[in-house]
Amino acid sequence: MDRWLARIIVAQGRWAKPFGDFNHRWLHALFRPIPAVRDLLNGRWLGHPLHGVLTDAPIGILFLVIVLDILDLRTAADVALIAGILTMLAAAVAGAADYADTDGTARERATVHSTLMVVALLVYLASLAIRGGGGAGDDRTVAVWTSVVAFLILAAGAYVGGDVVYALGNMVSRHAFRGAGTKWIALEPAELDDAGDIPEGRPVKGRLGINTLAIVRRGEAVLALHDTCAHAGGPLSEGSIEDGCLVCPWHFSKYRLTDGRARRGPTVYDQPAYEVRRTEAGGWEARRRPS
């Protein structure tokens, strides 16, 4: 069944790619000048994507609408429907902030997901209008079936949204499975200056066992973060230094060099940070700082 569903979703790429690129442009233009709002919606303050938290509410509430309709508890069903629509809107705003910094296949799938959610929302609004209109007297058949259809579209949208996270790893920490190892290991910078030191004033790539680090030297002090951005894997060694932080070149997440603390989104996760020291032989060695 998953292959059959995957084929249907992949086939949507024909319209989802150009539509997603279009949405990306205007969402990016909307959120770029207001990083504090975007951070709030991404969930950096929570250390967890806010969209993932908010989506549970409408799905639960809108399922409850079906149950209340079956029990013919009309007022309760209508109030739940309004609450479901409002929480859906809140989840959509948070999701739009994540969507603004989503690329490639994940953007395509996120476009299918968000389109299904918007269609579900419109069908729910139609159901609410029919309920409020009361034109057909006591008969709520059309209103009830409209919200059932909307729930099916919502469930399809939630399935695709799950795919964006679980299958494509969007908004998942790129360091989820990285061990905290505390052993000192030899650090090999990819480049050295004429004096045989790590170049100053810009990040430099370095090898630490199986890991790649972004190293920054400030005089005698050498600071290092993991090179792979926790947000979506951007190379921090190709980023820039700003206010004691390393800025990712892909979506401009900002991590404090001393401890990897996320200072600006779209990342909601901190970056692994490393202690670096000189060896007696004149080289460098590093180990991961405790988080």
> Shortest gap between Cβ of 230 and ligand FES (angstroms)?
8
Q: What is the amino acid identity at position 263?
A: R
- Residue number with CB closer to ligand FES (255 or 284): 255
> Shortest gap between Cβ of 278 and ligand FES (angstroms)?
30
In this structure, is the dihedral angle defined by the CA atoms of residues 172, 175, 179 and 180, taken in order, positive or negative? Answer: negative
In the block, which residue shows the tokens 């004096």?
195
Tokens for 281, please give them: 């032989």
- Residue number with CB closer to ligand FES (254 or 288): 254
Identify the helix (H) or strand (E) that includes residue 207.
Answer: strand 204-208
Backbone dihedral angles phi then psi of residue 147, each to the nearest 5 degrees: -75, -25
Backbone dihedral angles phi then psi of residue 283, each to the nearest 5 degrees: -90, -155
- Residue number with CB closer to ligand FES (116 or 245): 245
- Residue number with CB closer to ligand FES (112 or 248): 248
User: Which DSSP letter does residue 142 get?
Assistant: H
> Shortest gap between Cβ of 194 and ligand FES (angstroms)?
31
Identify the helix (H) or strand (E) that includes residue 88.
Answer: helix 74-99
The three-point CA angle 172-162-149 to 5° equals 155
> Shortest gap between Cβ of 280 and ligand FES (angstroms)?
36
> Shortest gap between Cβ of 158 and ligand FES (angstroms)?
24
- Residue number with CB closer to ligand FES (91 or 171): 171
> Shortest gap between Cβ of 46 and ligand FES (angstroms)?
17
Residues engaged in binding ligand FES (CB under 6 A): 101, 229, 231-234, 248, 250-251, 253, 266-267
- Residue number with CB closer to ligand FES (101 or 108): 101
CA-nearest of 273, 238, 268 to 253 is 268
CA-nearest of 228, 191, 231, 184 to 208 is 184
